[in-house]
Structure 1
């Protein structure tokens, strides 16, 4: 796979059981590129490491006054220089390709997983973590995956040079063979501590970023209550903690780097000291001493890759762990389905709670627990919490439909919908039936003031559809964001529309008009609204009360308000004392009616 061939036609099925398994899976899936990088790496490192032998040969040729051997040494040096240049060029090309393609594969897998899970993803993993994995973490993962081939080439080169030195000059080569493993492995005891400090730094940095994001998102509210300085102080403290953690982590990595410089230097001193003694005794020639000295000095270059691979793994391991956690998430139902890709029609029924939403009618659901309401709305969208308890649409279980068909059939709008940055035209450019125009949806959602605000906030834009919406609609109020999201859902015009508290952030007058517009625009379509607003409940064809996970009452709003105390408590926000007084009042009214009936009976008997 080359960079110009991206994206992958099929990124494959990752081994997401753990971070190391994911890294190994990525390496195996680009084995061709890894072998290519290994080959070019061997050419580069061997060419660099062979230069000391050529230099030693040239020095000895000068001492012996041999022009033939000097010319041979010059030719070998030219050959090594060519191999170094060619190998370095193509090694860099192969390494960058492996890095980018590995990162791109992980990004594609994450995007595919996000599309598969939909809104359920952010309920199971924080949105900030998903963003962190798909940006910074994929680069760290790609760094380690491509670094393995360069490290392997460097390690093989070190082995080849050690064997060559042992054969070329056993007396000095033995010192190098014994000393190099010590130099290469000396940093291993320091790596766990360095990794832990790096993990602490990343954790603190993530918390600081989350705090900054929350502060920016809530800046309007903070200014309203004068809390900017309080949150600024909190961010200062978090930022200082990140700085201290970064300094502690840098100290460990600087210590590792110092060890990587000190120990090879000590080895070089030992080689020179021992070599000079051998040369004075006449056991080795000057050229051999220069060769061994130069070889040990050059070996510092491939040895640097031992430090790099250790650092790359320490950073990529937690990154791969986070990526594997996201990639291991699965839908509670299959995305392929076992039925034909046909959008069914009919009633929507949830066997877990007994909730029935009649086809073509507006059904309101009252639930005292907002979290339970959110879980029920998610289940209505085709995400059952228990196997075999899927919602039925027209008698067909949603989990037996292909994912595309299920999403076409049922659309769920969360209580906190997300608006993506872009123009209003882009926001409303969603897969739709075409039966509902954008203008009609905006009118039904009462977005006139939102359009005016968007035009006033934009320069040289007369058409509101071209006005820009900032990230997550932060320039708009909560009610304005809610109404734009409702308009987007209405444009989609699904067979079944499930709305979770769609008017919780608007005033009562606007809410009444939205209720009328929703009922008008969704005529003949199945609509389920989770709400406790009397204005919406009064306009529903049918109201269901869900209590402790089951439907306990069904009727119309006014009827349930008079006959069902639990319904009245949720809708009117009655306290326990108020409910008790209401119950006592109902009891007194009943006793008075009974006394009146007895008196009338006595009057009838007397007259008889």
Structure 2
């Protein structure tokens, strides 16, 4: 695999049993690249290791006053220099290729896992840790992949030089052959402590990153409550903890580096002292002494590779462990008997009634079903289940709940792309990506719902006017709101505007089943009523599930399901449940039973289809709702902030 061939058509299925297994899997998938880099590394190091030979020949030629041998030694030096430079350039090219391709493979795997799990990913792994894994951890894993081939070349070259010295000059070569392994292993007792300090540093850095990302995400809210200084103090404290941990880790690695300098220096002194005695006794020549001295000097270079691979492995192992933990997350396993139900799907588009066996919730095909939970968190979990986005589980805990069925087919049993195309879930806090409005609405869709119609149904007229004022202007042409830029996560818009644009995006997609979790929680009652009518008209004939407690939306639904403690306990129209289910009435009207009895019978709700044009239907519905300051228009909230 070359850099120009990236991205991978298929990054493969990683071995995620542990960080070590993930590193081994990466090595197997890059075997050709590792062998290539190792061979170039051998050429470079062999050329460098051979320099003592012409150096010794040159010294001996000077002693013997032989000009021919001196010229020959000079020519050999030039050849080895050229080979060393060429090999160095090629090994650098090869190891960088290995580094980039390994990083690309891991990032593709993480991106695929993120798309597979969706919102369930951050339920199991903190957002800050996901960012750390996809950036810093990927770099550390790639560092080990890059250093591995250089270490292999250094190891083979070191063994070759020691064997050659023993053969060339047994007395000095034996000293070197015994000393080099001792030098390479001398740092092993220090590595566990260095690794622990490095892990501590990474852990603190991950917490600081998570704190920073959370602070940035909630910056507007922090400004509204005057909490900037509080969170800034918290981040300063976390940053200082990272600094202290980094200094402690650096001290340990500095000690290891010092050992790698001091011990080889002592070996070099010992070899020179012993060799000088042998030369004085006439047992070896001056040229032989210079050759052995040069060879020992060269061995200091591959010993640095031993230090680097130890450091790279100690950093990459926990990084690989975190990456393996994320990559090991998966969709829930099918319940017992789900395979038989999945046989009903033969590749055709999914459709039919939506049914959740865990809660007993049923949403008939082509109808608008509203669901009242009372607990926002429970509603969010139910919305994820209805979309087949149940929280990712570890292998030993998966399969405890049956899958949601669409037309009798378990969503967990069909390919992920098919399930996502059939059921779209919009959560209560949808994300708008940066770019123009046209790019925001350019999503995979059926083509049956024009963008203009979706924007109208979501009541985005005022949003378009605001975007038109910021849109780029051309010569004489009116500003086009579709070309206006939306900043990251839609931070330039109010909460209500973001919510309505996200709703329009979902309507444009036109899925077979659309699940909306509190789609109007940030808009005022008048806009909410118009949105309810627009969604009902636009989604006519399509299955739509809305999780809400708003009477304005509940009154427009074909059927309402009341869910309590995770089970569907009542089904009917809004008026029927309002009059006959005390728990439902308490959630929707925010009244206790005693307050309800004091207030008298509930106001009559007139279905939308029976209301006169501009009549009192909305007023009757609004009479059911107690004022709720939390449901003020988000534009007013953020303006006051």
- In the superposition, the TM-score normalised over structure 1's length comes to 0.91
Q: Whole-Å Cα distance in 2 between the matches of residues 451 and 233 of structure 1? A: 40
| Aligned partner of 2:447 among 427, 434, 441 | 434
Comparing 427-436 with 278-287, greater Cα deviation is found at 278-287
Match of 1:230 in 2: 230
Alpha-carbon deviation of 1:23?
A: 0.7
1:312 match: 312
Which residue number in structure 2 is paired with residue 553 of structure 1?
A: 570
* Mapped contact 2:208–2:235 kept (Cα < 8 A): yes
1:509-537 deviations in Å (ceiling 9; x for gaps): 22122111111211111110011111111
The one of 476, 490, 495 equivalent to 2:512 is 495
The question of 1:564 aligning with 2:564 is answered no
1:508 and 2:521 matched: no
Distance in structure 1 (CA, Å) of the matches to 2:219 and 2:416: 38
Residue correspondence of structure 1 range 342-361 to structure 2 within 5 A? 342-361=348-367
Contact 1:363–1:528 (CA<8 Å) still a contact in 2? Answer: yes
Provide the residue aligned with 2:217 in structure 1.
217
Deviation at 1:47, TM superposition (A): 1.0
Separation in 1 of the partners of 2:349 and 2:472?
A: 43
Quote how far apart the aligned CAs of 1:10 are.
Answer: 2.2
Instruction: Work out whether residues 44 and 85 of structure 1, in 8 Å CA contact, stay in contact via their aligned partners in 2.
Output: yes
After TM superposition, list the pairs within 5 Å mapping 1:341-420 onto structure 2.
341-383=347-389, 386=399, 389-420=402-433
C-alpha distance in structure 2 between counterparts of 1:233 and 1:346, whole Å:
54
Any residues of structure 2 matched to 1:197-276 within 5 Å, and which? 197-276=197-276
Name the structure 2 match of 1:94.
94
Correspondence list, 1:72-151, <5 A: 72-151=72-151
Residues 135-179 of structure 1: per-residue CA shift (max 9 Å, x gap) = 222222112112111101101111111111122112222221222
Structure 1 residue 346: Cα displacement: 2.4
Residue 582 of structure 1: CA displacement?
A: 4.4
| Rg (Cα) greater in structure | 1
Find the counterpart in structure 2 of residue 283 from structure 1: 283
Deviations for 1:525-576, whole angstroms, at most 9, x for unmatched residues? Answer: 11100111111111111111111221111111122122111111211223xx
Distance in 1 of aligned mates of 2:411 and 2:280: 88
Could you tell me how far apart the structure 2 residues matched to 1:107 and 1:234 are? 31
Distance in 2 (CA, whole Å) between partners of 1:519 and 1:161 is: 81
Take 2:571 and 2:226, find their aligned partners in 1: how far apart are those partners? 46
| Partner residue, 2:301 | 301
Unmatched runs of 5 consecutive residues or more in structure 1: 588-608
Question: How far does residue 584 in structure 1 lie from its aligned partner after superposition?
Answer: 8.8
CA distance in 1 between partners of 2:239 and 2:503 (Å): 39
Matched, 1:184 2:184: yes
Structure 1 residues 235-293: Cα deviation after superposition (integer angstroms, max 9, x where no partner): 22222222222211111111111111111111111111222222222222111111111
User: 1:468 matched to which residue of 2?
Assistant: 485
SS in 2 for 1:118: helix
Check whether the contact 1:482–1:505 (CA below 8 A) recurs between aligned residues: yes
**Which deviates the most, 95-104 or 209-218?**
209-218
Match of 2:393 in 1: none
Q: Matches of 2:57 and 2:435 in 1, distance apart?
A: 68
1:520 to 516, 530, 537: 537
Query: Residues 38 and 149 of structure 1 are in contact (CA less than 8 Å); yes or no, is this contact kept in structure 2?
Result: yes
In the TM superposition, residue 386 of structure 1 has moved relative to its aligned partner by 4.2
User: 3-state SS of the aligned residue for 1:279?
Assistant: helix
Q: Matched residues in 2 for 1:101 and 1:301: separation?
A: 27
Structure-2-length-normalised TM-score: 0.87
SS of 2:371's equivalent in the other structure is strand
Equivalent residues of 1:340, 1:401 under 8 A apart: no
User: Hey, what's the Cα distance between the residues in 2 that align with 1:441 and 1:126?
Assistant: 34
User: 2:358 touches 2:402 (CA, 8 Å); kept in 1?
Assistant: yes
Secondary structure (helix, strand or coil) at the match of 2:50 reads helix
Displacement of 1:332: 2.1
Unaligned runs of 5+ residues in structure 2 are 391-397, 602-641
Q: Does 1:579 align with 2:596?
A: no
SS in 2 for 1:300: helix
Q: 1:49 to 1:110 in 2, by over 3 A?
A: same
1:553 is paired with a residue whose SS is strand
The 10-residue stretch of structure 1 (482-491 or 390-399) with the greater mean CA deviation from structure 2: 390-399
Deviation at 1:84, TM superposition (A): 0.8
Which ranges of 4 or more aligned residues in structure 1 deviate by more than 6 Å? Answer: 583-587
Report what 2:607 is aligned to.
none
Q: Distance in 2 between matches of 1:303 and 1:167?
A: 21
Give the corresponding residue for 1:591.
Answer: none
SS class of match (1:276): helix
User: How many equivalent residue pairs?
Assistant: 584
Partner SS, residue 20 of structure 2: helix
Q: Tell me, what secondary structure is at the counterpart of 2:199? A: helix
